[in-house]
Amino acid sequence: MKKVLSVLIAAFLLFPALAAMAEETAVTSLDLSELAGVPTHYHLFDRAVFEQPDEHPGQVVKIKYKNDLYDKPYTNYISVYLPYGYDENGTERYPVVYFLHGNGGDSTTLLGNPETVNTLDHMISSGIAKPFILVAPSYYYDQRHKSVDLEIFVRELREELMPMIEGTYRTYAETPDEAGFRASRDARAICGFSRGSFTTWYLFDKMLDVSRTFLPFSGAIGLMEGETTIDSIRAAIDAHDLPYFIYMACGGEEDLAYAGCSALAQELIKDEEHFSYGTDVEKNHFFYVQSDNIHQDLTSRYYLFNAFVDGVLWPVSDAQE
């Protein structure tokens, strides 16, 4: 009888914690297919929970470095989010997202926002996301004058930034070099918002051998720098012959990128060979998330949440061996 009573008491004490966890991880989904013009959805979380400090907070590290690939040496910065439990002396490896900010932003635009960092913490602690590292560099080689050279930025990313970051932090790249990056491409994603989204599209054929997943948010192809076209994306897919997934997201009619992104999504899904539509990363290649958000860098935390809920990024059940 005492044993049964003890079990009942334990269950009674545990129930509020389980109820709180269930409430925290509850997901509401909006069907915005009519607005998007394609079958889509948008997952929402409880902002009153996810945007508050988590009991298991990660940390944001700011790294200062010099790059030497441009007309003269420039000093720049990278922000790095490390999940709770990351130990510099540990052995666990982590998947990594490289996030590119919008026009006029910098490496602190996303990770300098407390609510965004809290959201990343909650995604991990609630079990929605496997612990991951998020790296936020800047494509501006001269931040003061907002100078960009995407052709050289590709070299900066591959030759300087990735070796520096993944030689310092434990990603799935066992060696921080081209061979290590190619072998670990399933555990790496390129993501960006607005101008960072255009840059993500631009990087697709330049980074497909070292990244499986690309997440362009609120920015379609061909509206800014570079010569990225649907045909160039197709050509990269055919040339590399590697698994890939494009997870595009955009806000509603108040998002200045809305018309371009919706039109692009409708165009891409016509090509079922290259852009098989859906969220099954084993069978599909492309999905479009239509939200009701405005055009704002910080909405990226909502789109990242959607990518984890949809299983496009690394859910807890996904064991990267």
Please write the tens of the pLDDT for every residue from 27-70.
899 999 999 999 999 999 999 999 999 999 999 999 999 988 99
The predicted structure's pLDDT at residue 79: 98
**Sequence-separated (6 or more) residues with CB below 8 Å from residue 113:** 298
Measured between alpha carbons, how far is 244 from 20 in angstroms, rounded to an integer? 36
Is residue 187 exposed (0-12), middle (13-18) or buried (19+ Cβ within 10 Å)? Answer: buried
Contact 175, 116 (CB under 8 A): no
Count of CB atoms situated within 10 Å of the CB of 46: 15
The predicted structure's pLDDT at residue 21 = 42
Asked if residue 17 has pLDDT above 70, the reply is no
Per cent of the chain over pLDDT 70 is 89
Contact (Cβ atoms closer than 8 angstroms) between residue 59 and residue 82: yes
pLDDT of residue 88: 82
In 251-282, which positions are buried (b, 16+ CB within 10 angstroms) versus exposed (e)?
bbeebebbebbbebbeebbeeeebbebebebe
pTM of the model: 0.90
Q: Which residues contact 22 (CB under 8 A, 6 or more apart)?
A: none
CA-closest candidate to residue 196, choices 105, 101, 260, 300: 101
Question: Maximum distance among all alpha carbons in the chain?
Answer: 80
Q: How many Cβ atoms sit within 10 Å of the Cβ of residue 9?
A: 10
Q: Hey, where are the domains in the chain?
A: 2-309
In this predicted structure, what is the pLDDT of residue 6?
A: 40
CA distance 152 to 268: 29
Question: In which band, very low, low, confident or very high, does the pLDDT at 317 lie, cut at 50, 70 and 90?
Answer: low
Q: What is the pLDDT of residue 89?
A: 83
Q: What is the pLDDT of residue 270?
A: 96
d(CA 112, CA 253): 27
Q: What is the pLDDT of residue 60?
A: 98
Residue range 148-192, pLDDT digits in tens: 999 999 999 999 999 999 999 999 999 999 999 999 999 999 999
Q: Please compute the mean of the pLDDT values over residues 220-246 and round it to a whole number.
A: 86
2-309 CATH fold? Rossmann fold (3.40.50)
Q: What percent of the chain has pLDDT over 90?
A: 85
Q: How far apart are CA 288 and CA 294, in angstroms?
A: 16
Assess whether pLDDT exceeds 50 at residue 19: no
Mean pLDDT in residue range 293-305: 97
Give the mean model confidence (pLDDT) for residues 206-235: 87
Could you give the CA distance from residue 76 to residue 212 in angstroms, rounded to a whole number? 27
